[in-house]
Each structure stands twice: as C-alpha cells, then as structure tokens.
Structure 1
Amino acid sequence: MQAHEDVPAVREFWIGLDLPGLFDVHVHFLPPNIQRAVWAVFDSAGPKIGRDWPIRYRQSHEERVEILRAMGVRRFSALPYAHKPGVASYLNDWAAGFAERVPESLRSATFYPEEGAAAYVAEAIADGVDVFKLHLQVGEFHLDDPLLAPVWGVLEDAGTPVVVHAGSGPVPNAFTGPESTRRVLARHPRLALVIAHMGAPEFDEFLALAEDHEHVRLDTTMVFTDFFPATYPADLVPRLRDLQPKVLLGSDFPTIPYPYRHQLDGLAALDLGEDWLRDVCWHNGARLFGLA
C-alpha cells in the first residue's frame, strides 16, 4: 500500500517528543456491516450527528491498520458499541478476532442494558478484554439503568477500563449528560471510567468527576480541534495540568474529518509543556493498560 499523505506529519510530532510512538485509546474498528451503517449515519448528517461530517479515513480495515502503523500509533483500541439489545456478544466476538489478527489493538468489547450482561462481561474479562465502550447517546440508556446494576460491581472489582461517551455532544438527548455517570460513581467510586471527548460539552462537570475519583480519566477525542462544535473553556485548561496523569490521547480514527495530526497540534497549542504531551500521548495509556 502506498504511504498515506498524513504519515510524515504524525511521525514528526511524536519523534520530536522523543516518544516510541502514540497510544490512542479511542479508535474504532467495527464489523464491516456495522461500519457501513455507522458511516451512513455520518454521511447523512442525520439527527444524531447534526452537521456535515466528511470521513477522512474510509479505507478497508487492513488499509486503516497499516495507516496507523505507518503513522506510529503503536497501540490503539477497537471500541465496538452496542446500540440495541442482543448485539453486544456479536460485536465482542468480532472484536476478539480483530485483536488476534492485529497485535497492536487492545482487546475491546461492549455491553448493553439487558439480561445476562453481567455474565458476558465477566466472561469477557476472564478472556482478557482490555477495555469496554459504551455510547449513551447512540444506545439511548442511562449509565445507571437497573439492568446494568450487577455489571458495575463486576467492573469495579476487575478494574477494567470503560470508555464512556456520556457527554451531550454532538447532539444531546434524554440520556446524555453527567448525571447518570455521577450516580453510578456514587455507588461504585472505584470504577475505571474514561470519559470520551472530555465529556463535551459538559467539560466542567466531567473534569470535576475526574478530579474527585481516583480511577476516572478523560480522553481528548476531537476536543482541541477547529471542527469540534464545543470549545474547551480557557479557565479549565490549567486544571488539565494538575490532571496530567489522567488525560489520555483519543482520536476517533477513522471517523474524523481532518488529518490525524490536527488534534495533536491542538494539544500542543494548550501550552502545557512537553512532559504533559508525553504523558497524554503515550505514558498515561501505557500505564493504564500495563505497558509501562
């Protein structure tokens, strides 16, 4: 495959920081039929998207893996997310096979408010799943749905991270916002949650949850770009310096409308220092997933 045009700029960024590469905790690889359906939603700029959203990296699975490798994204997730009952196990089986074929990928899984969720989550953890993904906007459920009550105890005891899209961006609905996350953490304060998109647009509320809970982290996905509709408040940026060990690089690759380097430049523009960038772009992910 011919090298993608975005590769040199990304490599220049992490080489300049004297890093071994990048650790991206928010990458999506989905079964082809599900991927086509997701991209159709983005292509239509439908009610769950709310704006035109051209997809920059619309290659095959194999080509996208090679692009990540060439850019120097050494570790990345796959992050399937269930949108209705009965599909989580299918997605998890597919993601397990993907992780076996692609050693750089964290073994990723999902779950949904349904009978038996605690059992298949426990089984996935026993089988070596590294990270789970939930999407409250797409799945249309609250984090403290009664059917999830037994799941949280399993995850709290295991310490397995869960990337949660709980913020109200890009389009709010009745299930988004910090409230249900706050309620779950009140009952399970040791949960290892990674708040996707820094919790946009409820940045302040989710930042406070990360400050108040030892195992709650934030991922940077799409936030510090000129495309993201919610601007990160300037008065919160100094608090990100204090939260340095708990901010993780995320990109939303491949479903982004700009070159991969663009968000890296956005992080650098925060002017929080090279040590902060090194932690966010590599060391924090490596520590969280036991690769330090």
Structure 2
Amino acid sequence: MTDLSPQTPRTPSAEAVEVRRFWEGLGLPGLIDVHTHFMPERVLRKVWGYFDALGPLTGGVEWPITYRHEEGERADLLRDFGVRAFTAMLYPHKPGMARWLNGWAVDFARRTPGSLHTATFFPEPGVETYVREAVEAGARVFKAHLQVGAYDPADELLDPVWGLLAEAGVPAVVHCGSGPAPGKHTGPGPIGQVLARHPGLPLIVAHLGMPEYEDFLGLAERYPRVRLDTTMAFTDFSEEMAPFPRRALPRLAALGDRVLLGSDFPNIPYPYAHQLRALERLGLGEEWLRAVCHDNAAALFGIR
C-alpha cells in the first residue's frame, strides 16, 4: 500500500476552497485524479501551442488552457486542491520518443510528491524491452494516445506489450474514443481487438470513450478489468460537443466500482471544480461520487 496523504496545503485560493469543500462534503480524505498531464516543458508547450492553433485533433474548437503555469506551480495547485495522487500522462507522436519520455517520467515521479509514476509506449522495434524496463523501474500506469499517435493498438508490435501489462496488472489509460476528432484507429473496434486477445488487460478508457460512450460502456460490461475515466465528460464544454446519452446513466451507475476521476488538468478550458460539479449534478448519489472521486483509484493503486 502507498501512503499518499495530502501535503500541508499553502494558503488556499478561493478555487482550492471550493474543490476542498466538495470532497470534504463527501467525507473523503481528498481526491485521486488518474488523468493529469505532466511532461517535459518543451513538449507541453508544443501541446499548448497545438490547442492555441485550433488544430484538426481538437476538432477546430476554441480551447483556452486554464492552468498555463510552470510545472512546480501546477503540482502545488493540485495539492492545494487536495488531490492526493495524480498521474503524468505523457505520450509520443513518433518513433524514438517514448523511451526518452519514460526517462523524464522516472525523474518527475521521484521529485514530485503525490505523482503516480507514469510511462508510455509507441509501436516500434524494442517497445517490449523499454516497457518492461519501465515496469521494473516502478511505473504504476501507462498512457497511450491513439488519436495523437495515429497507430493501431492491435499492431503486432504492441501485442507483447499488452500481454506484459496484463500479466503485471499495470493499468493503461488509453485515449481510444473518437473525440474531439476521430482518428484512423479510434473508436471501440481497434481497442476491442486488443481486449479480445488480452481480456485480462487493466485498461482505463480515457474520457469515458467520448463520443462513443455506450460502445465503451459495453466493453466495460464485457471485460471486468476495463475501467473508464471521467475526463471532461459531463462538463458544459463537452456536453455541447458530445452529450452523454441520459439513457445510459443507469449503466454508468451500475459500473460505479470501475469509474475513475480524470480531469485533463492543466489542459482544460474551465476551472477544475467544474468537472467535480458536473459529476455531482448527474444525481447518481454520494456513494457513487465517493467511489469515483477517490475509492476506486485508491483500491487500484493501493493508496491508503
């Protein structure tokens, strides 16, 4: 078990007070956010530049970055919010990049209290070797981005990687839905092929599979180790682009032990607290909120 009790907070901002009021009202010790982005600064600034330019992967939607701060300030802000543990979602867009990112991630995890050591991969020669090295170095979670990487998750080069993660029980957060803009290998079909080969893979579907929500709920219903993160789902921003079908809420409620809080911090076009209130207004109850915002991830990652 990992003890990731909240650090002593700084003088809280009004926003931090609002976030803390949310989880304190649920009787929680804090939040666990499985979908936050930390990566080398020059890479992150290129990501921000892409959002600023309204590139095709954003669907041409205006996307202001709310938390455009330096790395240390961003980590401090999450701790001010009472986020007990968070990830460093990073991902390559070309061969030869993943191993370098994984090296950076080792150092980030060591120097950043509360960070869950995150790693990534790309379909390329040697991928099984460096993924195994990352697992042996203590990686707790992996990130794969099928839209940005533009690769097929069922690529034969990745087959041993999925098998390794399934055997090790290390989850992978995969952006496999077609939002905000579809890619050649997004949607439930390609990742469904992976799950058919590796039914024990601890897969976390990013963004609830937006906009193919119901298809990805179906995968979670079929495979007991599939989970979904809430990243950007139900917010006003996403509801305008890709509304969650209200007929599917009972299915989401029934999967309450396999839904995890994700935010996409810092790359979100609204305040952090809005994601929390968007979950609250679903009306699925406090027990569901406690599980989603903390307890499910605490069980998955052994956080006490």
Range into which the TM-score falls when normalised by the shorter chain = over 0.9
Matched, 1:45 2:54: yes
Residue 35 of structure 2 is matched in structure 1 by 26
User: What stretches of structure 2 of length at least 5 have no aligned partner?
Assistant: 1-9
- In the alignment, does 2:269 pair up with 1:257? yes
Q: For residues 1-292 of structure 1, what are the structure 2 equivalents within 5 Å?
A: 3-49=12-58, 50-228=60-238, 229-292=241-304
Cα displacement string for residues 20-67 of structure 1 (whole angstroms, at most 9, x for unaligned residues): 000000000010110010000000111111210000000100000111
User: What residue identity is the alignment partner of 2:170?
Assistant: T
User: What SS does structure 1 have at the residue aligned with 2:57?
Assistant: coil
Q: CA deviation at 1:4?
A: 4.1
Work out the number of aligned pairs and report it: 292
Once residues 175 and 5 of structure 1 are traced to their aligned partners in structure 2, the CA distance between those partners, rounded to angstroms, is: 42
Distance in 2 (alpha carbons) for counterparts of 1:4 and 1:135: 33
Aligned residues of 2:146 and 2:185 also touching (Cα < 8 A): yes
CA distance in 2, matches of 1:259, 1:2: 18
Q: Report the Cα distance in structure 1 between the residues aligned to 2:77 and 2:141, rounded to whole angstroms.
A: 22
Checking the alignment, whether the CA contact within 8 Å between 1:4 and 1:67 is kept in structure 2 is: no
Computed over aligned residues only, the root mean square deviation of the Cα atoms, in angstroms, reads: 1.0
In structure 1, what residue type is equivalent to 2:303?
L
Normalising by the residue count of structure 2, what TM-score does the alignment of the two structures yield?
0.94
The offset of 1:103, in angstroms, is 2.2
CA distance in 1, matches of 2:13, 2:140: 29
CA shift, 1:5, in A, is 4.0
- Distance, in Å, in 1 between the alignment partners of 2:95 and 2:288 is 40
Partner deviation per Cα, 1:203-239 (whole Å, 9 max, x = no partner): 0110010111111000000011000121110011011
Deviation at 1:156, TM superposition (A): 1.2
The secondary structure found in structure 2 opposite 1:6 is helix
Amino acid at match of 1:154: L
**Aligned residues: percent identity?**
55
Q: Equivalent residue of 2:236, what SS? A: coil
TM-score of the pair, normalised by structure 1: 0.98
Shift of 1:146: 1.7
Please list the CA deviations of residues 100-122 of structure 1 after superposition, one character each: whole Å capped at 9, or x if unmatched: 01120000000000001011111
- Contact 1:78/1:95 (<8 A) preserved: yes
- Alpha-carbon distance between aligned partners in 1 of 2:14 and 2:45, rounded to the nearest angstrom: 24
One-letter amino acid of the structure 1 residue matched with residue 42 of structure 2: N
Confirm or deny: 8 A CA contact 2:146 2:183 kept in the other structure.
Answer: no
